[in-house]
Amino acid sequence: MSKLKTIEKEKVVAEQLNGRFAMLGFIAAAGAYLTTGQIIPGII
C-alpha cells in the first residue's frame, strides 16, 4: 500500500524562496565577475 505524502505549504514556499535567492546570488556573482574580473570584488 502506498500512502500519499502531503507537503506542508510553508515548506514549499521556503524552498521556492531559497531557490530564488540562490539564482539571484548566482546572477550577482556572474555579473561581478564579468564587470570586475574578480570572483569576490575587493579581495585580491
Tens of pLDDT, residue by residue over 4-25, are 678 789 999 999 999 999 999 9
| Residue 37 reports pLDDT greater than 90 | no
Q: Which three cell numbers stand for residue 18?
A: 531559497
Is 40 domain-assigned?
no
Is 44 domain-assigned?
no
> What mean pLDDT is predicted for residues 18-39?
92
Is 26 domain-assigned?
yes
The domain total for the chain is: 1
Is 43 domain-assigned?
no
| Residue 1 reports pLDDT greater than 60 | no
Position 23, amino acid: M
| Residue 43 reports pLDDT greater than 80 | no
Is 14 domain-assigned?
yes
Q: Which three cell numbers stand for residue 2?
A: 502506498
* Domain extent at residue 24: 9-34
Is 16 domain-assigned?
yes
The pLDDT > 90 percentage for the chain reads 50
